[in-house]
Structure 1
Amino acid sequence: MKIHLREASSIENSDGLIVCTGNDLDVSKAYGLPIEHLKQKETFEGKIGEVQFMTLVQQEKLQDVALIGVGNSEKFCETKFIKSLGEAIKGLKKKKVSHIVLDLKALSSVAVVDKKLQKLIFSALIMSDYEFNDYKTDAKPSTLETISVLGNDLDESCLNEGVILGETNVFSRYLTNMPANIMTPDQLAKIAKDYVQPYGLEIEIKDENQIEALGMHAYFAVAKASANPPRLIVMRHMGAPESDKRLALVGKGLTYDSGGLSIKPTASMVTMKDDMGGASAVIAAMGAIARLDIKANVIGIVAACENMISGLSYKPGDIISSMGGKSIYIGNTDAEGRLTLIDAVTYGLNEEKATHVVDIATLTGAAIHCLGSVASPVVTNNDDFYHIVEKSFNKADEKVWKMPVFDAYKELVKHDQADLTNTAGAPGTITAGIFIGEFAKDVPWVHIDIAGTAFKDKASGIYSKGGTGSGAIPLVYLAKKMTK
């Protein structure tokens, strides 16, 4: 699907029309059509977030129309507007339209259509066109071919970047949605290589022997029970070789999580192909960082593996080591993600000399109880760095919220038989983050738990059912901020 900017207000040669407006009369005036030519079921008030579909009849032709309410300057909300734009695209796609005209001109009367909002709009158009149906034998390809955008002072550079960001989100969702019998650690590594290499990224993939030789004992303890061996994926974009700053993006890469010997119930295992949502975000973001030629040094790290059951499984009650040198008591084998992440974080510090670290992971079910599916909880050791991360998420219209890290919580991750325990108990989202933080040393570090935001049970707005690509676009914005 292609997007291009147009200055004219003609709606000819299109079978779909999306109009930002305050009421239905604006449509008739804008296109010189009598109001009786707009066939609708109910009154459209033009409130922010309101969407209504109708049919435009002109010259014996029918055109499917979606009205999007923009409200007024006091009540305008970017999040509601982008959601309604997604609903409009999806609604017109159901009507099999091929060419859509999106008229944004009325938007400038209630909002400042700055570069941030333009990028949100253009990326939303790409994101709204995606759905996962790769394995449906009767799947029909999208009929949507082009979207022509009309507006005041729209920027071609914003369009180009917005499209890249939208494609970044879609690629992240694709990786997350792939079934685990196909998206094994090795396959994830191969796809990552094929994805990032054309953009000039350096990528290194380490096998199980190299992982073990590096002393990544915690990561390997999780991985060794599976017939599908682990793969450590390291991607490097050295866009500022003269700079000492190095940002490590660490994504949890559990391509499948059965829970191990602390096995999950079946209902909880069905969606565990998405337990690599953090890895998906990092891989997709690294591709975009290279495509945009961001002048920063960024290293993407994914410790990909499966948490399975065999005679080689690590067990509750075990005490294992880690690349960071700390011993860990295993209270539950289903608290595995943090074990892979601590070795990946240590690798970033020791081997890649990272000066700043962000880890992103579908880590705890407790994250859903904390903030639901609206925002991702964060644990950090550096408020200044957190605020940079927060701004990056806000720019992408995604939300994070910092959790408290009290000394009493830090005591919970300690154990009487080992340095640490992987199951510190409630508050589980916070103690899981603190556990990872034990390996970040004094380096500015932010942990983002996307367990509640990485997956949707049903389509909504710009998202389809399945993976959401949570974090992918914000990580690109974060890389940009590292240039300052």
Structure 2
Amino acid sequence: MPRDDAILDPRTSAWSVTTGLEDALAAIPPRSAEDAVLVVPVGEDAAATLAPLTALGLDADLVVATHEPSSTAGAVTTVPLAPGAHPVRRIVLVGSGDGSPRAWRTAGAAVGRATRGRGRVVHAVGDVAGSDGLPAWVESVVLASWTTPRWRSDGAQAGAVPAREVVVTGTDASAAVEHAVVRARAQLVARGLAHTPSNTKNPAWMARQARVVARGAGLDVTVWDERSLRRDGFGGLLAVGGGSATPPRLVRLDHEPVGATATTPRVVLVGKGITFDTGGLQVKPADGMLGMKTDMSGSAVVLAVLAACRALDVRVRVTGLLALAENAVDGASYRPGDVVTHYGGTTVEIGNTDAEGRIVLADALAYADAELDPTWLVDVATLTGAARIALGRVAAPVFANDDALRDALVDAGTSTGETLWPMPLSDTYRRALDSDVADLTHIAPGVGGGAVTAALFLREFVGARRWAHLDIAGTGRSDVDAGTDAKGATGFGTRLLLRWLEEMR
């Protein structure tokens, strides 16, 4: 795929649903059987495993006795069949464990990897996965089928090819399957954007991608360039982006559902978009820069969420703000000790140029509070090393000034397998953000609680809004290519935010 198609339009299987396994098998043309696969879950219900094998014309008991498939979630046993003897050439038996959504996610990820590049894959799961397990399965298959794009001379090229067609049998829940695919594809868009090399991806490039997405998804879009940022007083973005040859941008995207009025609730999502982070004048060590092309993952997540709102029939107004800058080293770079004036007039003393994420977020949050009247305000950012040290990749800290909002986000993450861990906004640390020369300082050296103090700083810019902050510094990147993750950016938070938005009626 030339240009950026592999990023904004990731290749996924064509998914369909049918109630009858026999019909799905009969629909496979004989010439396609060599590249066709039947996927059968192996769980606590032995009959659920045997029935699809029998429908294929096999001695199910003999197959199980011969190959002894494991029921451990994600364990894969491949059974080859004689050429021309059956509608499929292979059976993939995959352990579904205890049948929990977590087990179905693990099993789906294993199947997504095991069936890459196949022609037609029939999933005999619909009648056993249930209403909670089926979306978990589908999302995981889609995510695990994807691999990191490669950049060639003519642009981004898709990685591994997923199965061409997937048929889910034993269910009529076509809408649930379709929505699960949409959510997973949105996460792949977020991954692709974050994986894009920073010599291609700068603030202006991200703004162009936002315009492309807006055209395809029926969104309104507004972009502030450096002149309009200066005119409107976005001093944080200008400070962080001042040392770069590619100036900062602020992008606003708006989803307006059919029939929306001025009283329709509005959700504002704010994404950190540092397209590359050198650390500025307080430059990072070389090893610390290796993953910094993904430091705009928050903005990638927000853009991907907005892109999927129409397809998922989100009924509330959703505004996305992408705070985009490159933190580079130059004679015009902002300095420790500088005083920056943010949108709305709050002044901030700079304590560390490598704590730039909260500086650009502050501008966007202040704008949201002053101009957008949000019902709920949520920001997403690869913000602090403290969050990564505290929770690693197991969970992302969530800070909130509203318990109901926090709990709703945690519940949405539980349903999608993206775990959020509630953390306290402890006012014990607040005094550490006092400054002798400005309204605030943006870091609290020597105090500890780095993720907490960062959240407390952001809280200063949200007014009385119901607000939550997701610090995805640990969960936003993966060091391994395993499960649903490809090595690098994960797109963590995309599906949980979409699930949260879908549930608003």
**Shorter-chain TM-score above 0.5:** yes
Residues 311-332 of structure 1: CA deviation (Å, up to 9, x unaligned): 0001112222211422222111
* Structure 1: stretches of 5+ with no match in the other structure: none
SS at 2:115 equivalent: helix
Distance 2:315 2:61 in 1: 55
Instruction: Please point out which of 107, 111, 131 is paired with 1:88.
Output: 111
Q: Does 1:461 align with 2:483?
A: yes
Distance 1:188 1:31 in 2: 49
Residues 210-255 of structure 1: CA deviation (Å, up to 9, x unaligned): 1111111122110111001111100011222242532110000111
Letter in 1 for 2:122: V
**Aligned counterpart, 2:404:** 384
Distance 2:443 2:358 in 1: 10
SS at 2:324 equivalent: strand
Distance 1:458 1:300 in 2: 30
Instruction: Please point out which of 195, 215, 227 is paired with 1:209.
Output: 227
Structure 1 residues 31 and 260 mapped into 2: Cα distance closer, same or farther (>3 Å)?
same
**Aligned counterpart, 1:79:** 102
SS at 2:150 equivalent: coil
SS at 1:386 equivalent: helix
Worse-superposed segment, 361-370 or 236-245: 236-245
Distance 2:455 2:362 in 1: 10
Q: Does 1:147 align with 2:166?
A: yes
Structure 1 residues 203 and 105 mapped into 2: Cα distance closer, same or farther (>3 Å)?
closer
**Aligned counterpart, 1:9:** 21
Structure 2-normalised TM-score? 0.87
Structure 1-normalised TM-score? 0.91
Distance 2:399 2:72 in 1: 37
Distance 1:142 1:126 in 2: 11
Structure 1 residues 25 and 396 mapped into 2: Cα distance closer, same or farther (>3 Å)?
closer
Distance 2:50 2:180 in 1: 31
Following superposition, the deviation at residue 366 of structure 1 comes to 1.2
Following superposition, the deviation at residue 355 of structure 1 comes to 2.9
The answer as to whether partners of 1:20 and 1:106 remain within 8 angstroms in 2 is no
Task: Give the % identical residues.
Answer: 30
Instruction: Please point out which of 119, 124, 135 is paired with 2:135.
Output: 119
Distance 2:231 2:490 in 1: 35
**Aligned counterpart, 1:134:** 150
Structure 1 residues 136 and 378 mapped into 2: Cα distance closer, same or farther (>3 Å)?
same
SS at 1:470 equivalent: coil
Distance 1:459 1:398 in 2: 17
Instruction: Please point out which of 82, 92, 101 is paired with 1:57.
Output: 82
Structure 1 residues 458 and 41 mapped into 2: Cα distance closer, same or farther (>3 Å)?
farther
Distance 1:21 1:117 in 2: 14
Q: How does 1:59-458 map to 2 (within 5 A)?
A: 59=84, 63-71=89-97, 75-93=98-116, 96-104=117-125, 107-108=128-129, 113-114=130-131, 116-135=132-151, 142=161, 144-151=163-170, 153-239=171-257, 240-243=260-263, 245-425=265-445, 426-458=448-480
Letter in 2 for 1:168: A
The answer as to whether partners of 2:339 and 2:349 remain within 8 angstroms in 1 is yes
Structure 1 residues 242 and 181 mapped into 2: Cα distance closer, same or farther (>3 Å)?
same
The answer as to whether partners of 2:298 and 2:381 remain within 8 angstroms in 1 is yes
Residues 248-267 of structure 1: CA deviation (Å, up to 9, x unaligned): 10000111111101111111
Distance 1:183 1:457 in 2: 21
SS at 2:237 equivalent: helix
The answer as to whether partners of 1:226 and 1:309 remain within 8 angstroms in 2 is yes
The answer as to whether partners of 1:324 and 1:439 remain within 8 angstroms in 2 is no
The answer as to whether partners of 1:48 and 1:80 remain within 8 angstroms in 2 is yes
Structure 1 residues 244 and 32 mapped into 2: Cα distance closer, same or farther (>3 Å)?
closer
Q: Does 1:33 align with 2:58?
A: yes
Distance 1:369 1:256 in 2: 21
The answer as to whether partners of 2:147 and 2:159 remain within 8 angstroms in 1 is no
SS at 2:343 equivalent: coil
Distance 2:454 2:428 in 1: 14
When the two chains are superposed, the root-mean-square deviation of aligned CA atoms in Å is 2.4
Distance 1:221 1:102 in 2: 53
Distance 2:310 2:85 in 1: 49
Structure 1 residues 105 and 307 mapped into 2: Cα distance closer, same or farther (>3 Å)?
closer
Distance 1:202 1:415 in 2: 39
Following superposition, the deviation at residue 117 of structure 1 comes to 3.4
Worse-superposed segment, 217-226 or 52-61: 52-61
Distance 1:258 1:199 in 2: 33
Letter in 2 for 1:82: R
SS at 2:151 equivalent: coil
Following superposition, the deviation at residue 421 of structure 1 comes to 1.7
The answer as to whether partners of 1:349 and 1:355 remain within 8 angstroms in 2 is no
Distance 2:245 2:105 in 1: 43
Letter in 1 for 2:471: D
* Structure 2: stretches of 5+ with no match in the other structure: 1-12
Distance 1:381 1:139 in 2: 41
Distance 1:143 1:254 in 2: 31
Distance 1:140 1:339 in 2: 35
Structure 1 residues 105 and 383 mapped into 2: Cα distance closer, same or farther (>3 Å)?
closer
Worse-superposed segment, 397-406 or 268-277: 397-406
Distance 2:444 2:92 in 1: 51
